[in-house]
Amino acid sequence: MDDRWPFFTVDLELTNVCYQGCIFCPRERLTRPQGFMPRELFAKIATQLAENGSRVTFCGMGNPLLHPELETFGQLCMELNLNFGLTIQAPALNQAGLEKIAALKPGFIEVSLPTISPGLYAELFPGQALETALNNLDNLVVQRGGTRGITVNAVVTALETENSEKMHEFWLNRGINFRLHACHSRGGNLVDNNLITASAREIKQCGLFATHSFITWNGQLLACCHDLTGETFIADLTRSTIREAAQAKLRFLEAPMPFKICKSCDEPAADRPIPLRPFPESGKARSRYLKSLCQTKNTIK
């Protein structure tokens, strides 16, 4: 049995329902069924991921804060000692969102806040204001008793007017961890060239695929979170175990990636090196390895 572990980090899509209308999100091309992950399925998957030391992010094509059983899911994660957090867009940090985060008690929160330019922010998030987002972020820091576990992810579009040094300085002064990412086409689904700054290339072996997994709200393991149609199906986790699904994923690493979505990939994290060693067993070793992954061709310096 291969000791490498493609469920090192996992994006678990609690729902693919969202109402925010961000212009860098290609929701109009989403043809997968929409819905909310059932409690029984969540418990089954979360239990297996906890047993295998995975780091889980509630993330996908929807807003995880909309799930009606979010607090229950958070309680179960804590009972399982599962390392979990969530990724949300900045507009979700309104009063209702903050209350749900307080009840969820995630270990980490990644906030997509793509720019520090007020005009561009309003363009990327129609009807939203940067000042409101920053105030809400300050409220999140107060709620959590500090900035630990909070990361701001900026998606740098071709419309950006601020340089990266200024953006780094801005967030450093606020004491918040910050990562800068090139805006890519989300598997070819985002077609506005006024937004995309990443470069496309054909992916033979995907380092992201080798260490990271994406599970849809209805338990489908897909090769990529940018698959909006379900064409990269690998396993049905309502029927298969995580271990069985992992072995199915590892077999794909024995040959060039077969999926159409890989032929013109511009996801920077796909360039991560394929791990040739077993999955780190200790928590500290996993933390160090995760930090090294995040620093490898994944962010703009």
Confidence check: pLDDT of 3 > 90: no
| Interval 111-165: pLDDT, tens | 999 999 999 999 999 999 999 999 999 999 999 999 999 999 998 999 998 889 9
| Interval 240-270: pLDDT, tens | 999 999 999 988 888 899 999 998 899 988 9
Confidence check: pLDDT of 296 > 60: no
Confidence check: pLDDT of 281 > 80: no
| Interval 158-181: pLDDT, tens | 999 888 999 999 999 999 999 998
pLDDT band at 301; cut points 50, 70, 90: very low
Whole-number pLDDT of residue 196: 93
Whole-number pLDDT of residue 298: 44
Question: Whole-prediction pTM value?
Answer: 0.92
Whole-number pLDDT of residue 278: 67
Collect all residues with Cβ–Cβ distance below 8 Å to 164 and sequence separation of at least 6: 156, 180, 300, 301
pLDDT band at 235; cut points 50, 70, 90: very high
pLDDT band at 293; cut points 50, 70, 90: low
pLDDT band at 1; cut points 50, 70, 90: very low
| Interval 187-231: pLDDT, tens | 999 988 889 999 999 888 898 998 899 999 999 999 999 999 999
Query: Class for domain 9-294, per CATH?
Result: alpha beta
| Interval 265-279: pLDDT, tens | 999 889 888 876 666
**Local structure of 137: helix, strand or coil:** helix
